[in-house]
Chains A and B, each alone.
Chain A
Amino acid sequence: MSDSRQSMTNTSSELLHGTLDTLVLKTLTAGRRHGYAIAAAIEHTTEGVVEIEEGSLYPALYRMERKGWVEAEWGVSELGRRAKFYRLTPKGRRQLAAQSAEWARFAAAISRVLVNP
């Protein structure tokens, strides 16, 4: 683990503040997952650029559960251990669509600034 990578995580998590929800929701579109699977999926997809700490992942999940974007149930993990699984609700799906669109608009705007001379 290099120091540069550590700083990268911090920067990312700041950048990600507010977009973590979107990432989690997106991850859940593939089906129900437990918390670790969600974190692992995001880390894998971003090739380790984004690391998700428990301290931010689970609060986000609990909040979204309260808002009704995701719902949770206890089930058995792939290794036979009891685990809490999260699943996207219709409300969460709508939320994801709205947030993705917003992110796309934002990203496009930023890149226009950065790309244009």
Chain B
Amino acid sequence: MGPVRGRHLPGAREPIAVSPFNRVFWRPPVADEVDDELSFHLEMRVRDLVERGMDPVAARREAQRRAGDVERTRVTLRGLGTGRNRHMERTQYFGELRQDLAFTARQLFKNPGFTAVALLTLALGIGATTAIFSAVYAVVLQPFPLREPSRLMLVGEVWEGTPQVMSVGNYVDVNAAIPDFEQGLSALNYASYNLADETAPERVVGARVTANYFDVMGVRPILGRTFTADEDRPGSDRVVVLSHRLWTRRFGASAAIVGRELRMNGAGYQIAGVMPASFDLTSDSEELWTPIAFTPAQRAEHDEHYLTVNGRLKPNVSRRQVQSQLDAVALRLRHDFPKDDETISFGTVPFVERFVGDYRQRLLTLLAAVGLVLLIACGNVANLLLARGAARAREIAVRTALGAGQGRIVRQLLTESLVLALCAAAAGLVLARGFLAAVIAWSPNDVPRLDQARIDPIALAFAVGIALVSSVICGLAPALRASRRDPQTALRDGGRGSTGGLRDRLRGALIVAEVALSLLLLVGAGLLIRSAIALQRTDTGFEPHGVLSARVTLPATSYTEPARIQETLRRIDEAAAGIPGVSSAAITSFAAMGSGGGTNGLVPEGRAPVAANFINSTLRVITPGFFATLGVPIVKGRNFNDGDRANGQRVMIVSARLAAVAFPGQDPIGKRINCCEPGPAGQKVIVGVAGDIRSRGPAVAPRPEFYLPLPQTPAVAWNWFRTLYVVVRTTGDPAALVKPLNAAVTRVDRDLPLFDVRTMDQRLASSLATARFNTLLLTLLGAIGLALAATGIYGVIAYFVSQRTQEIGVRIALGATRGSVVRLILGQALRPVVIGAAVGVAASLAASRVLSSQLFDVSPTDPLTIAAVLATLVGVASVASAVPARRAAAIDPTRALQAE
């Protein structure tokens, strides 16, 4: 506390010149004031008149006459007096507020270090919390732009415990049998469209949907109409509904577009309508819709499972009611289609739940982490304020001595806390905008709705509220204690105050909490970092370096004959292999990472063809170059070759995992497996065994997989995969092959655009993007938490040393060595750190389980991580307290003793 400047101390009563402000509190009630004043007037008048010689009775009468209607005057004056008092109180309030604000500004500017640390700490906490909460809100909590989204269900065949896609036949039968869905069930199948009109050809992802799809979802077009039931039939299905995004991007949001023709996949489609922007649910959701127009043959097909089916529960119908109806249909279908639907069952899952997926948990984890940072920040500021409050005991004592009431002092301190929190809120808002932009920019592309995230005012208010409460409580507590003390003792104390020092339990508790919280954060970050390292080291089973991959769609409109499809793919394969610099090339229905890769149920020879014996296995249709291009070894038998023709012996290569499951302990070569198509064509002979691939990303263990040669692709497969991958390997930079590969495909058919052109390294990286993003964010939050905790520890110890300079000086003068002084300070400092660390370890052992779904190859209670974090934390805490401890040891006893 600096010199006392009386004229600046708000609330200090000037003893002589009484200002009008301070007298407000002394006023008698207005009614008494008015009565007193009027009766005084009357009596003075009577006295005057009597003095002039009037008879007292007459004088009173005359005075009353002169007074007029006293009752009315009384009423008027009471009104005026009340208004006057209120006005003057307000004036006083604002006058004092101005004083308080001016004093606060001086206080904050006088201690720029304190101000900067407190502001920055709070702003960081507020900014990070607000940004992450806004992201969570956009993805998880924000209502969906669909009518009553809670009634919207995904309905599917239960596969590995959850409802998935359906076959057309099952969809048709379920839809006919269940009345409890409003508008019936809708079906959707994703498809690619090659747009080719006046502007450049472009490939977009769209969906073929049933006519009731939009009604089931509960959205209306902003322009034109959706499909009619008549258009949802083969032959009359050349109509298209555009998404808002495609409409604005390609057609300049022109209203005249409705009714015009759009060339897609080599055919003309009439544009029926445009959907609202809110129906662009994610930044990569489908961009147009055409009728699905099932053929009678498709309607009868029960074994090709690719439809996404949605239904809207009628009001007051529960999922359980619908489930019992679904079970009844499933029972009938098992009976009617014993081969295709032998074990069929159906289930529902809320659309919203499926849509948001596991981002809910990831984002909520992140939110919890950010909440911890906010708490640490608040703890820090609380600590700073507590320390300062104790240091200000003398100032407060002076003000009390000068006549400031406790209320007045409390108000002043409240003003300081408020100003601090509000400034921090403003800075926090700026930070939040930056953080949110960074989160959106760094996050993986497929997080639904994240691109719609805006700073959420409620989140901001909440974060500011917490900051306010903590700073107000911690700003007030020490001050109240100080103002209650006898000012004389406080002044005699020389401002050191008996509340100072580490003995203050509250401050110690705050350090304990901060250390525990940051340990929790760091353990989380550490576990994710260890997972990331483990993922990086995982052998995916293929060699991604030097491989370029791209996708191409053969439109159903221009490629109807399987023979033509085969021929075109063979020519693309040839053209790709012929590119200079390409060492090998292949066509495959599925590369690895990313979309594609259907599964089939396989029946190994010697087992009954019942569902219980099916081995679910991922299918790849490939050309022989596949294994060389992706660097997958053939561990046994042979590769495909030109001899594996369409009408020849049906052959198959199986992955090592499939071989082990299908023929445990036997040589799989030459064994037969039945799959994929009915009749003798379903009987395949195993000619080779390939190494396992982690096709779904490094974190997912290899599953059984099998390969069929392209010429032997079952004709029915072209119904559901028309998009294939072209992969090429080079010894040079694969990115340099993008142009030549495009040119090679265009030479085969100039209406076939390549899309999703990426190196395999990029695909691998993006499959890890979500994990990496979470790791990055949590590490960042952990680092912030650690820095804040270190600042807090430093601040408290530095304060402790500065408050006890004299005492330390005495100790040194009495012969204490520098070493013992350092030990004393460090001992005081590290006690709460050690307690906090113990609490933090216990908490992290209990809490890290929430991370387990995001961990790979590391236990949530990994002792190595916890030990490393402990070492880091204690190390940082020691450094933070060593600096002031050394300052204490360097105290010159003579100067320290003279200082007072």
**B77 in complex: contacting residue of A62, A73, A79, A82, CB < 8 Å:** A62
**B80 in complex: contacting residue of A53, A63, A77, CB < 8 Å:** A63
The range of chain B's interface size is: 20 to 34
Chain A contact residue count (CB 8 A cutoff): 28
List, in ascending order, chain A residues with CB within 8 A of B47's CB.
Answer: 79
Is B601 located at the chain interface by the 8 A CB criterion? Answer: no
Minimum CB–CB distance from A10 to chain B (whole Å) comes to 11
In the assembled complex, the Cα of A66 lies from the Cα of B40 at a distance in Å of 22
In the assembled complex, the Cα of A66 lies from the Cα of B67 at a distance in Å of 23
In the assembled complex, the Cα of A114 lies from the Cα of B818 at a distance in Å of 100
Given contacts A55-B69, A62-B84, contact A34 B40 (CB under 8 A): yes
Chain B binder among A22-30, A35-43, A93-101, A102-110: A35-43
In the assembled complex, the Cα of A97 lies from the Cα of B5 at a distance in Å of 37
List, in ascending order, chain A residues with CB within 8 A of B69's CB.
Answer: 55
B83 touches A36 (CB 8 A): no
Given contacts A36-B40, A66-B83, A73-B23, contact A53 B67 (CB under 8 A): yes
**B45 in complex: contacting residue of A36, A58, A71, CB < 8 Å:** A36
List, in ascending order, chain A residues with CB within 8 A of B18's CB.
Answer: 73
Is B38 located at the chain interface by the 8 A CB criterion? Answer: yes
List, in ascending order, chain B residues with CB within 8 A of A66's CB.
Answer: 80, 83-84, 87-88
Given contacts A62-B84, A66-B83, A66-B88, contact A55 B40 (CB under 8 A): no
Is A81 located at the chain interface by the 8 A CB criterion? Answer: yes
**B66 in complex: contacting residue of A51, A68, A79, CB < 8 Å:** A51
Given contacts A54-B68, A66-B88, A73-B23, contact A84 B80 (CB under 8 A): no
Residue of chain A at shortest CB distance from B38 = A54
**A62 in complex: contacting residue of B62, B67, B81, CB < 8 Å:** B81
List, in ascending order, chain A residues with CB within 8 A of B40's CB.
Answer: 34-36, 77, 81-84
A54 touches B73 (CB 8 A): yes
Interfacial residues of chain B within 179-237, with CB under 8 A of chain A in the complex: none
Is A117 located at the chain interface by the 8 A CB criterion? Answer: no
B81 touches A54 (CB 8 A): no
Minimum CB–CB distance from B28 to chain A (whole Å) comes to 8
Is B41 located at the chain interface by the 8 A CB criterion? Answer: yes
Interfacial residues of chain B within 8-57, with CB under 8 A of chain A in the complex: 18, 20, 23, 28, 33-34, 36-38, 40-41, 43-45, 47-48
Is B249 located at the chain interface by the 8 A CB criterion? Answer: no
How many A-B pairs fall under 8 Å by CB? 71
Q: Tell me if B's interface is mostly helix, strand, loop or mixed.
A: helix
In the assembled complex, the Cα of A66 lies from the Cα of B84 at a distance in Å of 5
B84 touches A53 (CB 8 A): no
Chain B CB within 10 A, most for which of A36, A62, A63, A74: A62
In the assembled complex, the Cα of A37 lies from the Cα of B87 at a distance in Å of 27
In the assembled complex, the Cα of A40 lies from the Cα of B41 at a distance in Å of 10
List, in ascending order, chain A residues with CB within 8 A of B44's CB.
Answer: 34, 36-37, 40, 77
Minimum CB–CB distance from B849 to chain A (whole Å) comes to 68
In the assembled complex, the Cα of A83 lies from the Cα of B36 at a distance in Å of 8
Is A31 located at the chain interface by the 8 A CB criterion? Answer: no
In the assembled complex, the Cα of A27 lies from the Cα of B48 at a distance in Å of 19
Chain A CB within 10 A, most for which of B37, B62, B67: B37
Given contacts A36-B40, A36-B41, A71-B20, contact A62 B80 (CB under 8 A): yes
Closest 10 CB pairs of A and B: A36-B44, A62-B80, A66-B84, A55-B73, A36-B41, A71-B20, A55-B68, A53-B68, A54-B67, A84-B37
Instruction: Enumerate 30 A-B pairs (CB-CB under 8 Å) in ascending A order.
Output: A1-B62, A35-B41, A36-B41, A36-B45, A40-B44, A40-B48, A53-B67, A53-B68, A54-B38, A54-B73, A55-B67, A55-B68, A55-B72, A55-B73, A55-B76, A58-B34, A59-B73, A59-B77, A62-B81, A63-B84, A66-B83, A66-B87, A68-B20, A71-B20, A73-B18, A77-B40, A81-B43, A83-B37, A83-B40, A84-B40
Residues of A in contact with B (beta carbons under 8 Å apart) = 1, 34-37, 39-40, 51, 53-55, 58-59, 62-63, 65-66, 68, 71, 73-74, 77, 79, 81-84, 89
Residues of B in contact with A (beta carbons under 8 Å apart) = 18, 20, 23, 28, 33-34, 36-38, 40-41, 43-45, 47-48, 62, 66-70, 72-73, 76-77, 80-81, 83-84, 87-88
